[in-house]
Amino acid sequence: MTLHPLLAQLLTPNRHAVIFAVKGVISMALALLVSMYLQLDRPYWALVSAVFLQIRPESGLVTEKALCQISGSVVGGGVGILILAFFMPYPLLALACLTLWIGLNSAASSMVHNTNFIYAFAMSGMTAGLVVIMVMADASAADGRAVFDIAQSRISEITVGALCAMLVSQLLWPVTVKDSLRNHSRNVINKTLEYLSLELDPSSTHEQRHQHADEILETLVVLNDDSSAVAYEGPEGPGRSRAANLLCNKVMSLLAVTQIMGRFPRNHPDLVSKAFSNLLADMRTLFIRIAEADSYEESYHQAQALRRALLEHRAAYVNESAIVIRLTQTAVELVADLVMVLRAYNALENRDQTLLKASKLKTHRDPLVGIVNGFRTAVVFAIGATIWLGTGSPAAIMLMIMPVVFSVMFARFSLVVLTFMLRRLLLGVVVAIPVALFFGLGLLSRSSGDFEMLVLVLAGPYFIGLLALADRPTLPYGLGFCIPFTLIVQPGNNMTFSTDVATSNALGLFVGISILYWVFKLITPLDGQLMQRRLLKATARDLTAIDYQRRPESWLNGRMGERLLRLANYDQGSGSSNRDMTDLGFTGLNIGHMSIRLRRRIKNHRSAEVDAKLAQWQQVLADTYLLSARGEINARFRKVSAELLAAVHATKEADAQTATVEGMFERIALTFERTARTIAGANNPTSSSDQSASPVIAA
């Protein structure tokens, strides 16, 4: 009999989960002790702050989140003071400005991917809300001094919780981001080598290749997000951060080149010579050996040996076609990128000053997504504010604040994942209510109220909640339990033990999370097909901007990383098995790399005419990419490519660098024609057989 994941986590926790829960209880106890000693107004907000910092226990990530939490709180407190300075006599205008500020923070959080940075925006909106609402809730004491005191108290409480959690993370059983980066890096390198061998394996399936590519992209994004936090882990941290960025960037280059090496032999076997087929088979065997190597040194030496063998193989060619020569050069570039990936992995442990700085994987910023997410969070807050204005109940304050935080934090998830998480969050709230009433009213009301008794009584429930928080599948249960439990019990110096207040707070939290659930159901994330088309258009815009970048390959890799993951996620969510949109994303990546390599090939042949033809070719490249995504063939691409080739040859005699340009143009043209045929066949299966017989495609 298989236990439910939550029961398995609570009844049979592993060592990691137990240590995580113990550290969490200690950090929360320390936050409560410091808050009570400093006589802060509401010490339970320090506990809430400490709970949020437990979600990722690595010391660098805790430090980064603490800084984000504190900075977000300071900015939010300042905005809250500013709103009240102008609109204290006009409550409706103050709430309208607060709603706008919360919506702007939610929209801005959609422009970043790092969870800690998203949390900073959530804290900015929450702190501003706490300052404005708590001043308005006690209008008789609403003067300039009261406003400043409330803002100072909220910022102080959140700061105390963040600093205590950060201190415990550094001193007790520290877990480092460095170790996490090395594990993720080792995993992504092995997955990439497996993917390389699959692409070169004629018997591999489309599903197998995409499964590996999806896993690589997911790990790359996690590795990229964590790379900023490792900078806080000692003097070697910034170097490890640069190494992780370089590794992510070069893996993107490997994915781009691998698409070329794998797709072409599968789709055009008649254009592949026997010598080149043998080369691909040897490469596949050596990739497997590199993945199975026992150490970095062994992997590195094997990769260098493979690179030398490819150069010798290329030098021995006799009467090979331009396209085969070009593909062999591509194979050499692939192995060169693999060598850099291995060096970057080694630099995560051992300093390597010779590594170049590479761009991080950038978050794909779509203003339309920001507008939708900002509007949704503003609606959640506006509903709570309307209930509060209509009832005047203090419990409605909880209904306004915490759902806003969860709305910002969960906005980037798909509707399926979001529904799953909110249901588990709600279940955690349901369990937290009776437990909080029992411990808060039943046990604490009979105690002395001293700090020692508070810790003794509350440690058990927090330990259970933190056990659930320690594992990703059960994290929503733990979050849904720990936060409401804290806000219902409200531990501090002057606890009231009022059944009415505790019950109304519990009801407010439950209603608030329920409203959040239904608002997300009604204002759903944007349609997958719409977003996929927008992602492809953004890729086409990047193709036209390549010539204006100082390090175009690094720039393109950084832009395409998360974009490819989003395309893959949308494809997975649609239930489609052909994964056409993901393939189109990879096509955009590899033709972008080809256009960058084209510039290297012709750099000694540049003239005014060549530059004009190159600019025209780049624009037609982007246009043809979008047309192929709609299942249309652009015959103009071959014409413009021929004109550019003629202009290059007119400058001076062809050399080794330009000899493969013709093969490059042919390979890209075949890619576009094959892509258009595939998309047209998927959109109109009955006509796919007619299209496949088209003489244009056969060319």
Condensed to tens digits (0 to 9), the pLDDT of residues 23-79 reads 999 999 999 999 989 888 888 899 988 888 878 778 888 888 889 999 999 999 999
Sign of the CA dihedral with 422 first, then 407, 59, and 170 last: negative
Spatial distance between the Cα atoms of 670 and 27, rounded to a whole number of angstroms: 60
- Would you say residue 689 has pLDDT above 60? no
For 496, counting Cβ atoms within 10 Å of its Cβ (0-12 exposed, 13-18 middle, 19+ buried), the class is exposed
Please tell me the predicted confidence (pLDDT) of residue 415.
Answer: 72
DSSP label of 2: P
Please tell me the predicted confidence (pLDDT) of residue 261.
Answer: 75
Please tell me the predicted confidence (pLDDT) of residue 254.
Answer: 85
Spatial distance between the Cα atoms of 558 and 563, rounded to a whole number of angstroms: 9
For 425, counting Cβ atoms within 10 Å of its Cβ (0-12 exposed, 13-18 middle, 19+ buried), the class is buried
The Cα angle at residue 186 between residues 237 and 286, in degrees rounded to 5: 135
Spatial distance between the Cα atoms of 488 and 355, rounded to a whole number of angstroms: 53
- Would you say residue 92 has pLDDT above 70? yes
Backbone angles phi, psi at 369, to 5 degrees: -65, -40
Name the nearest CA neighbour of 517 among 415, 441, 430, 448: 415
The pLDDT tens digits for 71-85 are: 999 999 999 999 988
Task: Answer yes or no: are the C-beta atoms of 175 and 59 closer than 8 Å.
Answer: yes
Quick count: other Cβ atoms within 10 Å of Cβ 686? 7
DSSP label of 681: H
- Would you say residue 514 has pLDDT above 50? yes
The pLDDT tens digits for 246-273 are: 888 888 888 888 777 777 777 777 777 7
Residue 39, sorted as left (phi over 0), alpha (psi -120 to 50) or beta, turns out to be: left
Name the nearest CA neighbour of 250 among 306, 333, 354, 181: 333
Please tell me the predicted confidence (pLDDT) of residue 79.
Answer: 93
Name the nearest CA neighbour of 478 among 1, 11, 127, 21: 21
Lookup: tokens for 322: 């331009």
The Cα angle at residue 38 between residues 37 and 40, in degrees rounded to 5: 115
Spatial distance between the Cα atoms of 411 and 377, rounded to a whole number of angstroms: 9
Lookup: tokens for 670: 């075949």
User: What is the mean pLDDT of the segment spanning 448-469?
Assistant: 85
- CA of residue 416 relative to chain centroid, distance: 17
Task: Answer yes or no: are the C-beta atoms of 119 and 68 closer than 8 Å.
Answer: yes
- Would you say residue 657 has pLDDT above 80? no
